[in-house]
Structure 1
Amino acid sequence: MFFVDVLETESLGNRSYLAGGPDAAVVVDPPRDIDRVIAAAARRGVRIAVVAETHVHNDYVTGGLELARLTGARYLVPAGAEVAYARVAVADGAVEPVDAGLELRAVATPGHTPHHTSYVLEEAGRAVAAFTGGSLLIGTVGRPDLVEPRLTEELARAQHASAHRLADRLEDAVSVLPTHGFGSFCSSTAAGGEHSTIGAERAANPALVQDAETFVRELLAGLDDVPAYYAHMAPVNSEGPAPLDLTEPRRADADEIARRLAAGEWVVDLRSRVAFAAGHVAGSLNFEADGQLATYLAWLIPWGRPVTLLAHSADDLARAQRELARVGIDRPAAAAVGSPADWVAEGERPASFRRATFAELAAARRDGADDMVVVDVRRAAERAHGWVRGSVHLPVHEIHRRLDEVPPGTVWVHCAGGMRAAVAASVLDAAGREVVAIDDGFAAAAGAGLPLVTPSDATAA
């Protein structure tokens, strides 16, 4: 009897899989921190015999090469992928033994990348699960625009064909087990659920219910922003990632923190946005350890810029270090644990700024404050559904480069829920602006009486 264990990396919206029988297993699309994978195999009491990549990943650094090296597993990488290391180059139709009665069959499914390959797990010759990587996701497909802009439409068409290729050869009961689609920016649109089968996708996935022209048109029209760090992931994965080093960073005192800030390095405070607003080292930036730390810090930071991490506890620091290593920010320049009292240089005071709700923003507007500017830091796709009248749109991942576009006055900054507003507020605060972070859900804006603009209003105007 086969098993499939899911290894979730929630912050990146990805899943890896450990699947096999009583003695041996395959790992599909392993994360960078392979200690989790090795521990999962140990709990099952199985040997990792095969490591399989569905594609050269654009959104995280793989642990596949190191996992194969440590375990002696055969390392499967699609034959069309150009990589600088030895691997088993997998072609369409190739079959790889996993355990007695269990085999892995490669199915070429280009679209997310030109070389993308799915893997069908077969038990006694019968397909039981499909590891679909960035091809057929739950209710959608992987985005086709991460490789080369000139290939985007061609790859979108390939996604449609690949989805049909899987659906045509697999029975309804076969499980669909994608790598992306649980919040990942590799997903073309938001995925529709946690579990699925070929039959469920056949009935509802746009790639399987729409004709090719409609599918491609709507897919291309709905593509959202791409995190800037994605440009660095495929080259790292193609070259061969270095082994992960999670040893504790060197500790910095208040004077060193001040020197690093003065040198233009990034000092990142991992505490909650509530704690950061109440008091922080002037010039530091707030990326919550419990938020989408890797996605947004890696998106904003100039690639290769040294980063010093400030954390409330050693556990928070360790979690953040692991999270950042998954996207190639391997070694913090330094770190400190404690509170602003420990991090602020002698003679200096912690900086702070206000937090507010949409109701407080509405009240301030009614009171006639004429130096207010409202900045919306949501992505364009989010703002397209409606926005606060008179607000300035500067997506959070662009605000550090567009500070000169923020009008004068007190800046009230909001997103959809508060996390990204806190990031943007810290950037503005570090730049010397007076800022108010709106820590509130955007749905509260209408209830607060703020005038909203909808797409239909904008069209009519």
Structure 2
Amino acid sequence: MTSGIDVEVIETSSLGDRSYLATDGEVALVVDPQRDVDRVIALAGRLGVRITHVLETHVHNDYVSGGLELSRLTGATYAMAAADEVPFQRMPVADGDLVEVSPRMRVRVIATPGHTFHHLSYALEGPQGAEGVFTGGSLLFGTTGRTDLLGHEHAETLARHQHASARKLADLLPEGAQVWPTHGFGSFCSAAQAEGDASTVGRERKINPALRLAAEEFVTQTLSGLDAYPAYYAHMGVTNLAGPEPVDLRPPATADPMQLRRRLEAGEWVVDLRNRKAYVQAYLAGTVSLALDGPMATWLGWLIDWGAPLTLLGETTGQVAQAQRELVRIGIDRVAAAAAGTPERLAAEPGQIRTMDTADFAALASALEGEVPDGLPAPVTVLDVRLRNEWDGSHVIGAVHIPLPELPRRLGELAEGVVWVHCGSGYRATAAASLLARAGRRVVVVDDDFATAADKGVPVSGPG
């Protein structure tokens, strides 16, 4: 920026969130840091700046915050909403407060309730005035943060607050001010998918429903678009209010093939982190496919019983370490065991290794017409594991709909026989297929893009 203030983005793409480090070249402030704060400290070190302030826009519901630990490690001032009652030391801030970070950089606190009741935004000001605003879960790129995470009974009230808060930001800030949200990049904290990779207040005035629609229309649209959100969210706010423990990323105990077999036979969660295409070619019977190249932590945190023993399998120890890092961000701190290598290396006996049938939507279309491609079993059930809003938008006529998070407890609803399972692209379908196979079902993964289904001859319904 021309003012000499730079804002660095710290992406956590697996959870769909961003944190920020703003610096004048000497000192820095950090906004909404994730739990693995070594990334933030390393960035400050590369830039040669000292972190003096850590700011939270709100008590997060989709990840465990690293703010408290970062402030302890660096000696930085830790700022949170004064209205949030916490047992640890922090600087309470409220609407209208000014936080002087340095002679060249300060933040103005703006109350923006909506995503939560006590949500704050922080306008970053330099010598020439407002540079931009850290909006957390308030004004996002082309959307806003969802308003139902504190309970559906509060969703409408918070949606009205969200509309007013977005307009408050637009009124207070110049059109050229940058918008720096925490959510909206795939996070379930976003009311809808964000648009674009950067934005300004002026751009949001043109595209954001909160700034284009009247309050009643915005509330109706927002509430109607809300879908399910991950079950682990129930634990995040509680953990953040209590004060998260420091992260422990030491490697878990290594499981040998006999130990892995015992864990699998006991019905424990043993998660295969490899790419789904490698998984279907060879996997250990009873494992669950949640590949590291997708939103592994989100789906695992949504599916697993909280606190259940968890074992991670990767091609390398590096994959296991990456998975650990992603899991501590959502409060899964203890991995019971881990192992690295090929299924052949990790199997206690050859009979543990299985393969899984795959198909595309063209093959499904043929199968539904009674012409099953060679080598594949005919489908008794076509299972769609996408979320409700996706199903409502369009779905295979005659398919059974069970969203992936509900599948473990609803397996008994599926008719006996072969299940062909699909999602939007193949990631969730492979996860679902592994859960079905774990339960003893014969399954075919439709590893294909649902947007192509109709063109490939699959009978597909429209909205509704």
Q: Same fold (TM over 0.5)?
A: yes
Structure 2 gaps, min length 5: 373-377
Query: Please, which runs of 5 or more residues in structure 1 have no aligned partner?
Result: none
Q: Distance in 2 between matches of 1:93 and 1:425?
A: 53
Q: Residues 382-401 of structure 1, C-alpha deviation per residue, up to 9 Å, x if partnerless?
A: 11111111100011111111
Percent identity of paired positions between Structure 1 and Structure 2: 53
Query: How far 1:372 moved relative to its partner?
Result: 2.1
CA displacement at 1:263 relative to structure 2: 2.7
Distance 1:40 1:99 in 2: 19
Report 1:257-268 matches (<5 A): 257-268=260-271
2:385 aligned partner: 377
Counterpart amino acid of residue 278 in structure 2? A
Match of 1:318 among 317, 321, 328: 321
Structure 1 letter corresponding to 2:392? A
Partner of 1:183: 186
How does 1:191-270 map onto structure 2 within 5 Å? 191-270=194-273
Q: Is the 8 A contact 1:119 1:130 kept in 2?
A: yes
User: Counterpart of 1:350?
Assistant: 353
2:140 equivalent to 1:132: no
Aligned partner of 1:387 in structure 2 is: 395
Preserved CA contact (<8 Å) 2:133 2:179: yes
Structure 1 length as normaliser, TM-score? 0.97
Amino acid at match of 1:209: R
Residue 153 (str. 1) matches residue 161 (str. 2): no
Report whether the alignment pairs 1:96 with 2:99.
yes
Aligned match for 1:362, one of 355, 361, 365? 365
Task: Verify the 8 A CA contact 1:309 1:336 in the aligned structure 2.
Answer: yes
- Answering whether residue 439 of structure 2 is matched by residue 436 of structure 1, we say no
CA contact (8 A) 1:20 1:99 kept: no
Give 3-state SS (helix, strand or coil) of 1:68's partner. helix
Give, in angstroms, the shift of residue 178 of structure 1: 0.3
SS at match of 1:98: strand
After TM superposition, give the deviation of residue 198 of structure 1 in Å: 0.7
Structure 2 distance, partners of 1:347, 1:182, is 42
Q: Which region of structure 1 is more displaced relative to structure 2, 321-330 or 426-435?
A: 321-330
Moved over 4 A (4+): 368-371
Counterpart in the other structure of 2:85: 82
Deviation per CA, 1:400-451: give whole Å up to 9, x if none: 1100111111100000100000000000000000000011001221122111
- Provide the residue aligned with 2:432 in structure 1: 424
The within-5 A match list for 1:283-362 is 283-346=286-349, 348-362=351-365
CA distance in 2, matches of 1:321, 1:150: 35
Aligned residues: CA RMSD: 1.2
State the Cα distance separating 1:347 from its structure 2 match. 6.0
Return the alpha-carbon distance in structure 1 between the equivalents of residues 87 and 399 of structure 2: 48
Q: Secondary structure at the match of 2:405?
A: coil
Please report how far the alpha carbon of residue 368 of structure 1 lies from its aligned counterpart in structure 2 after TM superposition. 5.5
* Local SS of the residue matching 1:268: strand
Q: Is the 8 A contact 1:281 1:351 kept in 2?
A: yes
CA contact (8 A) 1:270 1:311 kept: yes
Structure 1 residue aligned with 2:408: 400
Judge conservation of contact 1:20–1:98 (CA < 8 Å) in 2: no
Aligned residue-pair number:
456
Q: 2:52 aligns with which of 49, 52, 61?
A: 49
The one-letter amino acid paired with 1:436 is V
Offset at residue 341 of structure 1 (A): 1.4
Contact 1:371 / 1:408 at 8 angstroms: preserved in 2?
A: no
**Deviation (angstroms), 1:125:** 6.2
In the TM superposition, what is the alpha-carbon distance from 1:371 to its structure 2 partner?
Answer: 5.1
Asked whether the equivalents of residues 136 and 163 of structure 1 are also in contact (C-alpha less than 8 Å), the reply is yes
Q: Partner letter of residue 37 of structure 1?
A: V
Give the match for residue 18 of structure 1.
Answer: 21
Residues 27 and 51 in structure 1, CA contact (< 8 A), matched pair in contact too: yes
Task: Tell me which residue corresponds to 2:168.
Answer: 165
> 2:107 and 2:451 mapped to 1: Cα distance?
46
Q: C-alpha deviations, 1:187-231, integer Å up to 9, x for none?
A: 001111111111111122111111111110111111111111111
Deviation, 1:82, is 2.4
Asked if structure 1 preserves the Cα contact closer than 8 Å seen for 2:379 and 2:420, the reply is no
Partner of 2:375: none
CA distance in 2, matches of 1:30, 1:349: 42
- Deviations along 1:346-385, one digit per CA (max 9) or x if unpaired, are 3633122101111111222223666521000111101111
User: Using the alignment, how far apart are the partners of 1:230 and 1:321 within structure 2?
Assistant: 18
**3-state SS of the aligned residue for 1:219?**
helix
TM-score (norm 2): 0.96
* In structure 2, C-alpha distance between the alignment counterparts of 1:386 and 1:202, rounded to whole Å: 31
Whole-Å Cα distance in 1 between the matches of residues 297 and 87 of structure 2?
26
Tell me, in whole angstroms, the C-alpha distance in 2 between the residues paired with 1:131 and 1:368.
Answer: 56
Q: CA deviation at 1:342?
A: 2.1
Distance 2:114 2:29 in 1: 24
Query: What corresponds to 1:448 in structure 2?
Result: 456
Bigger shift: 345-354 or 177-186? 345-354
Alpha-carbon separation, structure 1, partners of 2:69 and 2:266: 35
Code of the residue aligned with 2:169 in structure 1: it is L
- For residues 371 and 190 of structure 1, what CA distance do their matches in structure 2 show? 33
Q: Following the alignment from structure 1 to structure 2, what is the Cα–Cα distance between the partners of residues 82 and 227?
A: 25
Cα contact 1:104–1:120 (8 A) shared by 2: yes
SS at 1:12's partner residue? coil
Matches within 5 A, 1:406-417: 406-417=414-425
